[in-house]
Amino acid sequence: SGNELGDILSINVHFKKNSALRRKKYTWRDHSKSNKTSGALGDLGVHLIDLILYLFDSPFKLDSLKVKMMTVVKEKEQKQVYVDDHSEVYGQLENHVFVNMITSKCTKADECGFSIEVNGQNGVFYYHSRQKNQFLLRTGLTEQMITMPDTWLTDPENEFYGWAD
């Protein structure tokens, strides 16, 4: 909770998949007409932005934002891919919380998943979807893994644990 962490200083939120590496077929999502909508930032980032706005109840300070967008998988079926498959957003919310947001569709399989780290003056909250239904809470020298109830949702095939959540 906010009381345990104290004032929130920064958040790191990452959503990493490997679909650009796994999917070899060229589709409409790779075409130049899609380059502003369906890449890593558009497909995955919108969910992270939604989460940030919900959890921290503060809009982004637009003049603080720095965005890096890359296309790592540049070609499929000998056609150029125009859409970003990796993005990084750095900036600040109006309430002064610093934000680091990474979305990727070109991540090594063992690094895929969703993670969030909330750094407060008194402690740190950390969750990664690889940890199944547990999160880490660190305050001072005390570190504890806290178990959440099992989910009722199931993950689709070929998606990482926690996708359904």
For 54-101, the pLDDT digits (tens) are: 999 999 999 999 999 999 999 999 999 989 999 999 999 999 999 999
Q: What is the pTM of this model?
A: 0.86
Residues 90-117 have pLDDT tens digits of 999 999 999 999 999 999 988 999 999 9
CATH of 2-147, one of 3.30.360.10, 3.40.50.12280, 3.30.70.20, 3.30.499.10: 3.30.360.10
Task: Tell me which residue of 68, 66, 56 sits closest to 119, measured CA to CA.
Answer: 56
Domain ranges of the chain: 2-147
Residues with Cβ within 8 Å of residue 49, at least 6 apart in sequence: 60, 101
pLDDT band at 33 (very low <50, low <70, confident <90, very high): confident
Phi, psi of 80 (to 5 degrees): -70, 135
